[in-house]
Structure 1
Amino acid sequence: MTRTRTALLLTTVVALLAGLVVYAAFATRSPDFDPPTPLEAAAPQGLESFYTQKLSWSDCYTGGHCADVTVPIDYADPDGATTQLRMVFYPATGDATRSIFVNPGGPGGSAIDYAGQMKNDLGKQVRDAADVIGVDPRGVGLSSPLTCLPAKKFDAYAASDPDPDDAAEIAASRASFTAMGKACEANSGALAAHVSTVEVARDMDVVRALVGRAKLDWFGASYGTELGAVYAELFPGKVGRMVLDGAVDPSLDSVESSFAQNEGFQRALDAYAADCVKSDACPLGTDAKAGVAKIAALMDQLDAAPLPGVGDRKLTEGLAFYGIAVTLYDQKSWSYLSQGLAAAFKGDGALLVQFADVYFDRKPDGSYGSNSGQVINAISCLDNPGGLTLADVEKQTPRFVKTSPVFGRALAFGALGCSDWPIESANPLPTIDGKGAPPIVVIGTTRDPATPYESAEALAKQLDSGVLLTRDGDGHTAYASGNACITKAVDGYLADGTVPKVGTTC
């Protein structure tokens, strides 16, 4: 996860390419739904009204049950303003003994959408005993959303040069990032300063109590691993069975976080190229190394002269950055990348523009289906406030470019991002060890582009009870990737508490 102006959404891209179902539409409440009963256990002092609030449930059209939860905008001021969270609840298919909360990452991905997917992906033995719950984090999705730039201005931001070349371009890029933060503050008020991961983790504890669970079982993917790890740090005694898939290393600063992703995406691009050149139809030719150089040359060309794209929207270097990156999240998307590159090499940028639109959830009519492309910056910069100078970043750039000629310059400059965010954070990420929590399963995929395998190794070591589970493969995250060994290990842990053997590789 990059905490930068080139931040990459950590979510399941094949699902995005296929089009996600919206799981949050309301109907009337089914008469045979027995709502969960809140715990009577003592709530944290001053927060009693939130931990014991009465929820009003309605049926979602997909078969789940939906409710709104009220939480304080600022936990330091529980008597002050509040915000709304929306959640979906899928009851267990048997006699429920637990509830598994799920989160797909981002930050900015919809947990409500993800729950609709995970209720089908989790094994029968898991679903027989466990409800599946998705809570859109504060500021995200169907919870009271953070509102920042209007669509047209965000279009310009997304298409802007990710690696500005001179003083004027650098100043303009930095100013645009600051302007986004000011827009969040102007349009969303106090909420803009209170969408940190620490506060989201505290929200999850409120919902845990409201659905009547003494322990929080958790399946977090990508940034959802960081959210889970923060919960374990804040509430170690309330952790149940926790799985962190496609793990983030929360200990990294902005430069090293960007560099880790730089390595991850280049590793994935190299794997794609090596696979592509085996085909006679590969747009990269017959040599993988030369093919990657061809992509790097395309990025340079786009920096100087964007290609025709969709309507009056051109394929800029910025949109190509996202359009290429989004297809590396899943090996099943590599064929899309080949199509997009083949067209771009012939002077047609339309497909890569459309892929970038998928990444940002931009609709054909120019609207955005979610605020994910903007809220990621708000959350990331509250978690990891900036402090870098331009000189710091320029010093690091050669190392980035040497590792990745395609992504390096953009990700190096992107590390500067949060230094320009105008909103002060009161809740930065804590140091995480989760001491006191039961075993936490951390999963890493060896050629994961967005959360490199090394990040999973690091998080498993940082967590006092971390257990590393390895998937040898391509793409972002491991569960539901078709790897039977991973499925067996995760389902076994979530169903009956069997912890994978240390050192297990699938």
Structure 2
Amino acid sequence: MIALVSAAAVAASIAGFSGAQAAPAAPAVGGFTPTLSAWGECAEDIECSTLTVPLDYANPDNGKTVKLALARAAATGPASSYQGILVANPGGPGGEGRGLAGFLKGSIAGASTYDVIGFDPRGVGASVPALRCNSKYFGVNRPNYVPKTKKLLTYWLTKTKRYAQQCGRSSAAVQGLLPFMTTRDVAKDVESLRVAYQAQLASNVLTASKAPKLDALNFYGFSYGTYIAQVYATLYPTRVGRFVLDGVVDPTRWWYGGNIEQEIGFDRNINIYFKWLAAHNKTFHLGTSAKKIRKGYYAMLKKLDRRPAAKKRLGPDELNDALVSAGYYIYDWVAIGHAYSALVRRGNGNPLFRMYRDGNMGDDNGYAVYLGVQCSDVKRPTWAKQKADAVRLHKKHPFLTWNNTWYNAPCLKWPAPSRARVNVTGSGVSGKILLVSETKDAATSYSGALRVRGLFANSRLIAGIGGTTHSSSLSGVACVDNRIDAFFKTGALPARQSGRRADVNCPKLAPPSVSGSSRVSAGAWTQPLHRLLMQAQRPSVR
């Protein structure tokens, strides 16, 4: 088994890795010949490389390029069993993908016959240039997200505008990156990786027999990574091999329509979490009524607005941000419950502040790239439309509405043009696609998974019935994980059912047990793979 290697370890190693001489030239993609440096060991059982692609595929001869950081967990076994490359993306946009190489190889037995490659997309992580705008943007004790006054509305419009301006003055922007951050660009980078890797294998006498296996691409995408896969399949339909898409993006509603669905879904899911807290009153001591816990939460927001906790670092916004994770995933439900209980019962906001700090503050690369992609992918509505929608939705779904509105507001003044949306159709795709979605996923709605199933005739959908976890595969639900393993081993898909429904119904990922839990050990259930995915999605999936 391949050792599990953290994303941080791979990042530290690749930072000083330049690669040996480049392999012979690959076929051109969009008029540009991508180059892949020789692979060199950068962590245990992990090799690293860099891929040089054009900054602008429409103008590849202008001399401007982007270098993508790659990590590989190589296939094991004889060449006769080799099945090609399995490229992975953790989502975001803005998630660093290099750490997925070792994680997926260690999590899927069927992946042993693939070269599993994780990559940092353009602008992300160790890729060059990397987009960073203002690492102090997510501060402490910020004014209330809900703009009850004109002063608050002006504050947030000004703050988000300034962030967009700072991105326009960033070093990456100076190098011309911002106009070329669309998902279309990323999908073309993935094709550049495929053809460059195929050429590299063909040039080596020891691996030349493996090169034909790269006529098609295999892909594992989580969340936004599923949209990369859909755009890739639209641009290169004959190159689709075996795709697993978990937490499926609806291509017809991405981005703004997806944001609206999120605001409804997260409000539903936080109510489900409050109900779970009420069912475990003996552990959290918050009461046995979910309605009262919810009422208490909104009363706590008002209280923190008047008097922040944790040395004036935990205001209503920080509390809201800290609890958003409970709407994404069940992994940290216990830890969040203990932290929230400490605030309610003892006035101790330090545990929740640490959750906010660890999940939101620090380097802003993920947030900057999130905006760089979504502000460029498709034109958003006017501010008048967005404000009207936020006011309307907040009345019934207050948990995330204004938080999400301000999170996306820098697009109002984004210093790069919006592009035309890619029309994902599924036309001409003969490869096989396995879709995975829990039916109450708030980040990417289940209805989107059903829509994508309808677009791609050779796809199948596995549903986690009643589950609220986003991108929940490889979490130990045998009904899901065994089918993914078999799919990568043999290409086997479940039988397709008639109508607009899932092809396989599986149990949801169950919440963690509170038995024997403590404030110290709570949250330790989360496995390394899912911690990596959570870092990629939080807060960037919004």
TM-score, normalised with respect to structure 2? 0.80
User: Are residues 1:351 and 2:351 paired?
Assistant: yes
Q: Distance in 2 between matches of 1:99 and 1:371?
A: 27
By how many angstroms is 1:56 displaced? 2.9
Deviations 1:389-429 (A, max 9, x none): 23x2343235423442322343356565523323213x443
Q: Distance in 2 between matches of 1:215 and 1:313?
A: 55
| Cα distance change, pair 253–247 in 1 and its aligned pair in 2 (3 A) | closer
Deviations 1:319-374 (A, max 9, x none): 222211123332121011112211222433222222122223x4xxxx43x61122
**Corresponding residue to 1:204 among 182, 190, 200:** 190
RMSD (Å), alpha carbons: 2.9
Instruction: Tell me, yes or no, if the aligned pair for 2:22 and 2:38 is still in contact at 8 Å.
Output: no
Q: Distance in 1 between matches of 2:464 and 2:391?
A: 31
By how many angstroms is 1:299 displaced? 2.5
Question: 2:504 maps to which residue?
Answer: 504
Amino acid at match of 1:46: G
Q: Percent identity?
A: 26
**Corresponding residue to 1:143 among 111, 127, 130:** 127
Deviations 1:1-24 (A, max 9, x none): xxxxxxxxxxxxxx9xxx864323
Question: 2:314 maps to which residue?
Answer: 315
Instruction: Tell me, yes or no, if the aligned pair for 1:23 and 1:116 is still in contact at 8 Å.
Output: no
Question: 1:191 maps to which residue?
Answer: 177
Q: Distance in 1 between matches of 2:428 and 2:71?
A: 29
| Cα distance change, pair 265–38 in 1 and its aligned pair in 2 (3 A) | farther
Q: Distance in 2 between matches of 1:158 and 1:121?
A: 40
Instruction: Tell me, yes or no, if the aligned pair for 2:105 and 2:116 is still in contact at 8 Å.
Output: yes
**Corresponding residue to 2:156 among 151, 170, 173:** 173
Deviations 1:97-132 (A, max 9, x none): 21110111111111112223222111x2x1231111
By how many angstroms is 1:29 displaced? 13
Question: 2:518 maps to which residue?
Answer: none
Question: 2:290 maps to which residue?
Answer: 288
Question: 1:43 maps to which residue?
Answer: 28
By how many angstroms is 1:93 displaced? 2.1
**Corresponding residue to 1:94 among 73, 77, 81:** 77
Residue correspondence of structure 1 range 265-414 to structure 2 within 5 A:
265-279=266-280, 280-302=282-304, 304-309=305-310, 314-345=313-344, 346-360=346-360, 362=361, 367-368=362-363, 371-390=365-384, 392-397=385-390, 399-412=392-405
Residue correspondence of structure 1 range 112-131 to structure 2 within 5 A:
112-122=98-108, 124=109, 126-131=110-115
Instruction: Tell me, yes or no, if the aligned pair for 1:149 and 1:183 is still in contact at 8 Å.
Output: yes
Instruction: Tell me, yes or no, if the aligned pair for 1:37 and 1:211 is still in contact at 8 Å.
Output: no
By how many angstroms is 1:70 displaced? 1.0
Instruction: Tell me, yes or no, if the aligned pair for 2:164 and 2:410 is still in contact at 8 Å.
Output: no
Q: Distance in 2 between matches of 1:301 and 1:228?
A: 45
Q: Distance in 2 between matches of 1:109 and 1:255?
A: 20
By how many angstroms is 1:246 displaced? 0.7
Amino acid at match of 1:324: L
Instruction: Tell me, yes or no, if the aligned pair for 1:71 and 1:203 is still in contact at 8 Å.
Output: yes
Q: Distance in 2 between matches of 1:479 and 1:59?
A: 29
Amino acid at match of 2:28: A
Instruction: Tell me, yes or no, if the aligned pair for 1:65 and 1:90 is still in contact at 8 Å.
Output: yes
User: Are residues 1:483 and 2:469 paired?
Assistant: no
By how many angstroms is 1:243 displaced? 1.0
Report the 3-state secondary structure (helix = DSSP H, G, I; strand = E; otherwise coil) of the residue aligned with 1:292.
Answer: helix
Q: Distance in 1 between matches of 2:278 and 2:196?
A: 54
Q: Which moved more, 1:395-404 or 1:138-147?
A: 395-404
Residue correspondence of structure 1 range 58-137 to structure 2 within 5 A:
58-80=40-62, 81-95=64-78, 96-122=82-108, 124=109, 126-137=110-121
Instruction: Tell me, yes or no, if the aligned pair for 2:309 and 2:348 is still in contact at 8 Å.
Output: yes
Report the 3-state secondary structure (helix = DSSP H, G, I; strand = E; otherwise coil) of the residue aligned with 1:178.
Answer: helix
Q: Distance in 1 between matches of 2:459 and 2:286?
A: 41
| Cα distance change, pair 159–194 in 1 and its aligned pair in 2 (3 A) | farther
By how many angstroms is 1:465 displaced? 3.7
Q: Distance in 1 between matches of 2:238 and 2:494?
A: 21
Instruction: Tell me, yes or no, if the aligned pair for 1:174 and 1:420 is still in contact at 8 Å.
Output: no
Q: Distance in 2 between matches of 1:308 and 1:241?
A: 50
Instruction: Tell me, yes or no, if the aligned pair for 1:284 and 1:294 is still in contact at 8 Å.
Output: no
Q: Which moved more, 1:330-339 or 1:340-349?
A: 340-349
Q: Distance in 2 between matches of 1:254 and 1:74?
A: 23
Q: Distance in 1 between matches of 2:312 and 2:48?
A: 38
| Cα distance change, pair 91–292 in 1 and its aligned pair in 2 (3 A) | same
Report the 3-state secondary structure (helix = DSSP H, G, I; strand = E; otherwise coil) of the residue aligned with 1:488.
Answer: helix
TM-score, normalised with respect to structure 1? 0.85
User: Are residues 1:445 and 2:438 paired?
Assistant: yes
Report the 3-state secondary structure (helix = DSSP H, G, I; strand = E; otherwise coil) of the residue aligned with 1:447.
Answer: coil
| Cα distance change, pair 322–504 in 1 and its aligned pair in 2 (3 A) | same
| Cα distance change, pair 57–159 in 1 and its aligned pair in 2 (3 A) | farther
By how many angstroms is 1:463 displaced? 3.4
| Cα distance change, pair 28–452 in 1 and its aligned pair in 2 (3 A) | closer
Q: Distance in 2 between matches of 1:244 and 1:198?
A: 17
Amino acid at match of 1:72: P
Instruction: Tell me, yes or no, if the aligned pair for 1:393 and 1:416 is still in contact at 8 Å.
Output: no
Amino acid at match of 1:179: R
Deviations 1:133-168 (A, max 9, x none): 00100000111253333323x233994543322223
Instruction: Tell me, yes or no, if the aligned pair for 2:36 and 2:50 is still in contact at 8 Å.
Output: no
Amino acid at match of 2:166: A
By how many angstroms is 1:28 displaced? 13
User: Are residues 1:456 and 2:444 paired?
Assistant: no
5+ residue gaps, structure 1: 1-14
| Cα distance change, pair 140–253 in 1 and its aligned pair in 2 (3 A) | closer
| Cα distance change, pair 70–208 in 1 and its aligned pair in 2 (3 A) | same
Amino acid at match of 2:152: E
| Cα distance change, pair 255–198 in 1 and its aligned pair in 2 (3 A) | closer
Instruction: Tell me, yes or no, if the aligned pair for 2:269 and 2:440 is still in contact at 8 Å.
Output: yes
Report the 3-state secondary structure (helix = DSSP H, G, I; strand = E; otherwise coil) of the residue aligned with 2:52.
Answer: strand
Instruction: Tell me, yes or no, if the aligned pair for 1:220 and 1:245 is still in contact at 8 Å.
Output: yes
Q: Distance in 1 between matches of 2:135 and 2:285?
A: 33
Instruction: Tell me, yes or no, if the aligned pair for 2:246 and 2:472 is still in contact at 8 Å.
Output: yes
